């Protein structure tokens, strides 16, 4: 159900932050796949965050100042189109149900926007995000410039609205946290289901079908990103997504998959043996990555900055690489030289929310890592990817492991939202026993 008050509060908060001027926030365009077939429609995350409105061809305009106003432009009711494509609110119903001060037909945008933009001191807009919106908005400004002799002034200050909205989106409200918990629970159940289902000699896409089934049957609207189902050596390709290879007996399977529920992403990676039993070498590396992940999660609290979990994971991984004879020399030397990057070449997480790689700065204005604060949500996802190489013992060749959970920063530490996805060696082997 739409939490109307919360969406209104967000608009109110943004209007206050703007203090003056006008904001123009379009939603995402529909994208044609070929001829008259479209990709599944996905609204723009910031537009949705401020409106709760999911229809394409919509624009939010906020007018700040002594009489702040939020105005929606949306598609007209159109019985003919609704027979083909489904329900549309139309301006009148959208205004009532989504709590705007005004709503207009999207067809009136050019005309009304000119009036709203005239004599405003500032324009808040995400310049550079969309070439067609840049052209359209610049066109409005140029039209207003031609009216200068009639006394019309043009905003002389264009600010990036993303600076304000991204910072708001970084802190999740209890309402958002609840959706993210549900999204995480669905994805966790999907990973557990995939794990139970997997057997040697299946195809990667058969396993993919299992977790997609769980996403949809639990009410998620879509995968939150392109799923990775990578058996054996494929796991050492970080963005592998062909998902069409056979699973060999004795190989590991890495699955990086999350769902989108009411706009919010979950993002889980689990790695497990296709035959249900880790080999000695697989177990050594798996336990190392798990220890790194646990050390990183331990650092997710308000006493630490953004990078502390990455530093903690790296420290554990580097010691492990030395112990397993993957890297030579002392810890400091391996860190300094970057030799560990042969096996761990990505960072340990990212903000998570309406976007899987969610918005929000990672450093503060002085260029330091920002502190973790309550209600931020992030992933913790160390890994180890061992491609065949002369300096690597053969037993480790083609082992690719990542373990990824979604974590909410709380007052006293953190909550692992994806804790229901089976993770320890013992639990994975038990889950796959048959
Ligand atoms: N699935 C995307 C990521 O883990 O960052
Ligand atoms: Mn991730
Ligand atoms: Mn992921």
DSSP string across 332-394: HHHHHHTGGGGT--S-S--B-SSSSS----SB-TTSSBPBP-TT-EEEE--EEEE---TTS-G
Q: What is the CATH number of the domain that holds 384?
A: 3.90.230.10
pLDDT at 306 over 90: yes
How far is the centre of ligand 1, averaged over its atoms, from the C-alpha of 285 (Å)?
20
33, 149, 239, 434: which is the annotated catalytic residue? 239
36, 80, 332, 390: which is the annotated catalytic residue? 36
Could you give the 3-state DSSP secondary structure of residue 271?
Answer: strand
Distance from C-alpha of 313 to C-alpha of 54, rounded to nearest angstrom: 39
Q: Write out the DSSP string of 94-161.
A: HHHHHT-SEEEEGGGHHHHHHHHHTT-SEEE--TTS-HHHHHHHHHHHHHHHTTGGGT-----EEE-H
What confidence category does residue 429 fall into, taking pLDDT thresholds of 50, 70 and 90? very high
**In this structure, what token pair is assigned to residue 430?**
């038990």
Same domain assignment for residues 157 and 231: no
Our CA angle for 160, 163, 165, nearest 5°, is 105
pLDDT at 258 over 70: yes
What confidence category does residue 214 fall into, taking pLDDT thresholds of 50, 70 and 90? very high
Distance from C-alpha of 319 to C-alpha of 331, rounded to nearest angstrom: 6
pLDDT at 145 over 90: yes
In this prediction, residues 41-46 reach a mean pLDDT of 98
Eight-class DSSP state of 277:
-
Could you give the 3-state DSSP secondary structure of residue 406?
Answer: strand
Q: Pocket of ligand 1, candidates 230, 267, 348, 385: which has the most ligand atoms within 8 Å of its Cβ, to mutate?
A: 267
Q: Which of 137, 168, 199 delimits the end of a domain?
A: 168
Task: Name every protein residue with a CB atom under 6 angstroms from any ligand 1 atom.
Answer: 225, 256, 267, 350, 356, 381, 404
Q: Pocket of ligand 1, candidates 255, 346, 356: which has the most ligand atoms within 8 Å of its Cβ, to mutate?
A: 356
Q: Which residues contact 378 (CB under 8 A, 6 or more apart)?
A: 300, 309, 349, 350, 351, 352, 372, 406, 407, 409
Distance from C-alpha of 16 to C-alpha of 29, rounded to nearest angstrom: 28
How far is the centre of ligand 3, averaged over its atoms, from the C-alpha of 188 (Å)?
13
Phi and psi at residue 344, to the nearest 5°: -140, 100
49, 264, 286, 385: which is the annotated catalytic residue? 385
Phi and psi at residue 273, to the nearest 5°: -75, 140
Ligand 1 atom closest to the Cα of residue 269 is 4
pLDDT at 2 over 80: no
- Is 373 in contact with 344 (CB distance < 8 Å)? no
Same domain assignment for residues 30 and 141: yes
Same domain assignment for residues 129 and 232: no
Ligand 1 atom closest to the Cα of residue 258 is 1
For this structure, is 350 an active site residue? yes
Could you give the 3-state DSSP secondary structure of residue 399?
Answer: strand
Ligand 1 atom closest to the Cα of residue 357 is 5
For this structure, is 157 an active site residue? no
Same domain assignment for residues 229 and 154: no
Same domain assignment for residues 180 and 296: yes
In this prediction, residues 157-167 reach a mean pLDDT of 97
For this structure, is 166 an active site residue? no
Can you give the pLDDT at residue 389? 98
Q: What is the CATH number of the domain that holds 56?
A: 3.40.350.10
How far is the centre of ligand 3, averaged over its atoms, from the C-alpha of 268 (Å)?
5
Report percent pLDDT > 70 for the chain.
Answer: 100
Phi and psi at residue 114, to the nearest 5°: -60, -45
Same domain assignment for residues 97 and 178: no
For this structure, is 404 an active site residue? yes
Give residue 255's domain range.
Answer: 171-433
Distance from C-alpha of 132 to C-alpha of 429, rounded to nearest angstrom: 53
Same domain assignment for residues 188 and 136: no
Could you give the 3-state DSSP secondary structure of residue 229?
Answer: strand
> Cα Rg for the chain, rounded, in angstroms?
25
Same domain assignment for residues 164 and 175: no
Q: Which of 118, 136, 168 delimits the end of a domain?
A: 168
Ligand 1, atom 5: closest residue by C-alpha: 357
What confidence category does residue 432 fall into, taking pLDDT thresholds of 50, 70 and 90? very high
Could you give the 3-state DSSP secondary structure of residue 29?
Answer: coil
Ligand 1 atom closest to the Cα of residue 381 is 4
pLDDT at 152 over 90: yes
Distance from C-alpha of 39 to C-alpha of 81, rounded to nearest angstrom: 18
How far is the centre of ligand 2, averaged over its atoms, from the C-alpha of 111 (Å)?
43
Q: Do β-strands 268-273 and 222-223 pair in parallel, antiparallel, or remain unpaired?
A: unpaired
In this prediction, residues 257-265 reach a mean pLDDT of 98
Ligand 1 atom closest to the Cα of residue 225 is 1
Q: Which of 120, 143, 168 delimits the end of a domain?
A: 168
256, 262, 355, 406: which is the annotated catalytic residue? 256
Q: Which residues contact 430 (CB under 8 A, 6 or more apart)?
A: none
- CA neighbor of 184 nearest in space, from 348, 44, 297, 353: 353
Same domain assignment for residues 381 and 410: yes
267, 358, 405, 406: which is the annotated catalytic residue? 267
Same domain assignment for residues 93 and 176: no
- CA neighbor of 411 nearest in space, from 321, 322, 300: 300
Q: Which ligand is nearest to the CA of 378?
A: 2
145, 217, 341, 357: which is the annotated catalytic residue? 357
Same domain assignment for residues 72 and 104: yes
Can you give the pLDDT at residue 1? 66
Ligand 1, atom 3: closest residue by C-alpha: 267
**In this structure, what token pair is assigned to residue 403?**
């373990």
Distance from C-alpha of 134 to C-alpha of 173, rounded to nearest angstrom: 32
How far is the centre of ligand 1, averaged over its atoms, from the C-alpha of 352 (Å)?
10
Same domain assignment for residues 231 and 101: no
Distance from C-alpha of 74 to C-alpha of 95, rounded to nearest angstrom: 10
How far is the centre of ligand 1, averaged over its atoms, from the C-alpha of 258 (Å)?
9
Phi and psi at residue 428, to the nearest 5°: -65, -45
Q: How many separate helices (H) and strands (E) can be counted in the chain?
A: 13, 19
Q: pTM score, two decimals? A: 0.97
Q: Do β-strands 399-402 and 405-409 pair in parallel, antiparallel, or remain unpaired?
A: unpaired
For this structure, is 381 an active site residue? yes
Computed over every residue of the chain, the mean pLDDT equals: 97
- Is 211 in contact with 255 (CB distance < 8 Å)? yes
pLDDT in tens, 313-345: 999 999 999 999 999 999 999 999 999 999 999
Ligand 1, atom 4: closest residue by C-alpha: 267
Ligand 1 atom closest to the Cα of residue 356 is 2
The tally of domains found in the chain comes to 2
Distance from C-alpha of 348 to C-alpha of 146, rounded to nearest angstrom: 52
For this structure, is 361 an active site residue? no
In this prediction, residues 383-399 reach a mean pLDDT of 97
For this structure, is 267 an active site residue? yes
């Amino acid at each position: 159900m739409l939490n109307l008050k919360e969406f209104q509060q967000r608009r109110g908060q943004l209007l206050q932050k703007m203090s003056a001027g006008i904001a123009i926030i379009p939603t995402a365009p529909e994208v044609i796949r070929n001829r008259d077939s479209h990709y599944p429609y996905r609204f723009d995350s910031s537009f949705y965050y401020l409106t709760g409105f999911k229809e394409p061809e919509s624009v939010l305009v906020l007018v700040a100042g002594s009489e702040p106003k939020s105005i929606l432009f949306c598609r007209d009711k159109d019985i003919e189109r609704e027979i083909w494509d489904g329900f549309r609110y139309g301006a009148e119903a959208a205004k009532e149900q989504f709590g705007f001060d005004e709503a207009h037909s999207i067809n009136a945008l050019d005309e009304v926007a000119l009036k709203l933009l005239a004599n405003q001191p500032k324009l808040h807009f995400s310049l550079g995000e969309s070439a067609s919106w840049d052209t359209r908005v610049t066109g409005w400004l140029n039209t207003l410039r031609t009216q200068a002799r009639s006394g019309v002034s043009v905003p002389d200050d264009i600010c990036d609205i993303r600076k304000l909205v991204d910072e708001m989106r970084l802190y999740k409200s209890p309402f958002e946290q609840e959706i993210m918990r549900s999204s995480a629970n669905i994805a966790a159940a999907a990973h557990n289901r995939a794990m139970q289902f997997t057997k040697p000699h299946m195809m990667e896409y058969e396993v993919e079908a299992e977790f997609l089934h769980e996403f949809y049957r639990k009410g998620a609207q879509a995968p939150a990103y392109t799923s990775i189902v990578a058996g054996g050596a494929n796991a050492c390709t970080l963005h592998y997504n062909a998902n069409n290879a056979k699973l060999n007996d004795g190989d590991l399977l890495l699955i990086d998959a999350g769902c989108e529920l009411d706009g919010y992403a979950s993002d889980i990676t689990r790695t497990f043996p296709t035959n249900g039993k880790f080999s000695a070498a697989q177990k050594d590396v798996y336990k190392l990555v798990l220890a790194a992940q646990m050390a990183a999660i331990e650092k997710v609290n308000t006493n630490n900055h953004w990078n502390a979990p990455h530093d903690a994971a790296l420290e554990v991984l580097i010691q492990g690489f030395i112990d397993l004879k993957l890297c030579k020399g002392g810890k400091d030397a391996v860190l300094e030289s970057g030799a560990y990057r042969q096996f761990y070449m990505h960072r340990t997480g990212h903000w998570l929310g309406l976007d899987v790689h969610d918005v929000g700065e990672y450093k503060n204005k002085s260029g330091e890592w920002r502190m973790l604060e309550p209600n931020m949500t992030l992933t913790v996802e160390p890994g180890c990817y061992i491609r065949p190489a002369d300096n690597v013992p053969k037993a480790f060749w083609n082992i690719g492991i990542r373990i990824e959970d979604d974590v909410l920063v709380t007052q006293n530490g953190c909550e692992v939202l994806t804790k229901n996805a089976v993770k320890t060696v013992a639990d994975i082997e038990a889950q796959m026993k048959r």
